[in-house]
Amino acid sequence: MPPGGRRARWAFFVLLLLDFGIRLYGLTFHSLWLDEAVSIHLASFPWSEIFQRGMSLQEPNPPLYHLALSLWMRVFGSGVAAVRLLSAFLGTFYLPALYLLGRRLFSARLALMATLLAALNPFLVWYSQEVRMYAMVAALSVWSLYCFVRALETDRRSWWVAYVFLTVASLYTHLYAVFLLPAELLFLFLYPRRHRKAWLQGAVSWGLSLLCFSPWLLRAWQLSGTVPSWRPSLTLGAMLSACLEAFTVRRVPLPPLELGVIMAVCAVFVLAGLLMHRVPQRGSVPRGWQRLDMRSSVFLILSLFFPLMLAYLLSFRQQIFTVYYLIVIVAPFLLALAAGLDKTAAFSKLAGLVSLLTVVGIFSYGLRHNWSLDYRKEEWRAAAQYVARHAREGDAILCHVDYTRIPFSYYYEGAVPIFAPFGGPPTSYPDVARTLEGLSGYGTIWLVQSHTDWVDPARTVEAWLTSTFPVATEQFPPGVEVKGYSASYRLEQVPSTARRVDAVYDEKVRLAAYELDGEAFSATDDTYHPPSGWIHVTLYWQALVPLTEEYTATVELVDDAHRVWGGQLNRPTGTMRFYPPTVWRLGEVIRDDYDVNLNPMTPEGVYDLQVSLFTTLGEQALASYEGGEWGAVPLAQVRILPP
């Protein structure tokens, strides 16, 4: 393919459109997770405060991305699609630099292959749909690499000026961009004769870039010795393996053997692209880069492995490695992978085509799982919607730990007050009790918790609530836990919102009323665990005589043939176990909550919701109610919607 040919340009623009379309697809499929919500939260501050927080490391990342996001939000708003669109544009902006860099180092054909792989790369697509700085630092870093290469080819200072500008911008976007600077400086040292004219300008540009970043870098170095890392220690082999998996399929449900084969295939092409001499071919653009020397490969080797080695060495002081931080080396990885495919095609067009389709298939398989229900981000959207649908006036919401209030509040649209008193590990159980005892006056306390493994591994807050109040409901959307506690489970009268029943069991216990959280439900719901529909039922009981035996209630969804299609979740912390019937006082109303789990295979139609009462011996109590006598009291009819 001619390097400046019309076909090459049209092919690139088609790939650019493909890239942008993929990054727009499913843009709001995932809920915002904690870090994304924090980015939006920080970007809502005044610019001076964003800058101050970023430079003082109150926010552990440099401030440029949040300043850019703040400006973007002022124009386009803070909706999920709007804020993620910035990363989608930045992810698309990545491709022209990769294409131009590939052409300068190798050929137009190789550049197009690398562009195709970047468009389909699940790792790049994932972070092009996230409200974080990774798409931005990736784009700025590859443009910086391109300007570095162009500056070495020419005597124009404008390329060095552009290099300094883009490098400093990348540094103030994310720390890991600094790891490319030593690789570039070492490349200058390795070829002093070829870069004699550019050596001084390059060294000055390199030093100026680092000097501009030194205030933040010095502060980060000082704090890194005092703040403990939450990251586990990894060997160099584990780091390499994590990067190879992430850069190829990102995350897929494959057995270790099959995943190992995929990683091995990609690794072979990468090593071939880096270590084998190039084969002369039509369409090469040397422009000062000799066809048969290894400068292009050396440049990629340094850009690819030097940042990884620096991250590994610095982790001896404090563990800093996180695989998505190394998004800055995905460009040299893809160019090396494309170089291996290109060299395969130079020997055999058929082998090259098969190899390319194999790698495209691997990337496409990983890309499909970017929008898989099994790999969803933290579902704060579902958690907030569940609480908003079930919370009532007089309730309270407790977010634990305190910063989880940020993603929850982003989605929550109710009027119930939100409390978040614990920003660090609770000192002791009595301190937790003193902090939370004021919540006893609320109707239901909604505990919304996430990220407690480091702050509250013993779950002291949850333990206090569970020992103080009965559990009304539990839901587990991905990455989040929602638990409702009945702080007011002993009432003087039935709430006015409840529907009257007036059914009596064995002439001892009255089911006075009930409440449902809807009238139509879906039997399948992949948001929660288990992945099926739920019906929340609140029952109100009264003891007609002093009770001498315990009871347990059963809530079921049945069809006309009395086949059961849903039953309540067995919960040892429910009201009847927390406050057993033998201690009920005459006249008081007992609130008793149940989550009915639906069979996901339940056919569409109308079903009966019924309540039975059993003694500790398993005997079913006879119920009398308006309409007859039977062991189960029909509460209401509910509709199951089509899947």
If one counts every other C-beta atom within 10 angstroms of the C-beta of residue 261, the result is 12
Rounded to 10 degrees, the C-alpha dihedral 206/209/215/216 comes to -100
Angle among Cα 364, 368, 370 to the nearest 5 degrees reads 120
Supply the pLDDT for residue 287.
46
Q: How many residues does the chain have?
A: 643
59 SS3 class: coil
Supply the pLDDT for residue 153.
84
Positions in the chain short of pLDDT 70? 1-4, 192-195, 224-231, 277-293, 529-530
Region 495-641: CATH code: 2.60.40.770
pLDDT in tens, 524-559: 887 776 678 999 999 999 999 999 999 999 999 999
Is residue 358 within a helix (H) or strand (E), and if so which, with residue range?
A: helix 349-368
Question: What are φ and ψ of residue 7, in 5° steps?
Answer: -60, -40
C-alpha 499/C-alpha 516 separation (Å) is 9
C-alpha 461/C-alpha 484 separation (Å) is 13
512 with 633: CB under 8 angstroms?
no
Supply the pLDDT for residue 436.
94
Supply the pLDDT for residue 293.
61
Supply the pLDDT for residue 339.
95
For CA atoms 323, 327, 329, 335, the dihedral sign is: positive
- Residue spans of the domains in the chain: they are 6-375, 380-486, 495-641
C-alpha 538/C-alpha 486 separation (Å) is 11
Supply the pLDDT for residue 230.
63
Site of tokens 């920080």: 42
Q: Cα 366 vs. chain centroid, distance in angstroms?
A: 16
336 with 270: CB under 8 angstroms?
yes
Supply the pLDDT for residue 200.
83
Output the pTM of the full model.
Answer: 0.91
DSSP 8-state class, residue 45: S
DSSP 8-state class, residue 226: T
Q: Are strands 589-598 and 490-491 parallel, antiparallel or unpaired?
A: antiparallel
Q: Which residues contact 393 (CB under 8 A, 6 or more apart)?
A: 415, 416
Site of tokens 């039509």: 282
Q: Where are the alpha helices (DSSP H) in 412-475?
A: 429-436, 452-455, 460-468
Supply the pLDDT for residue 278.
58
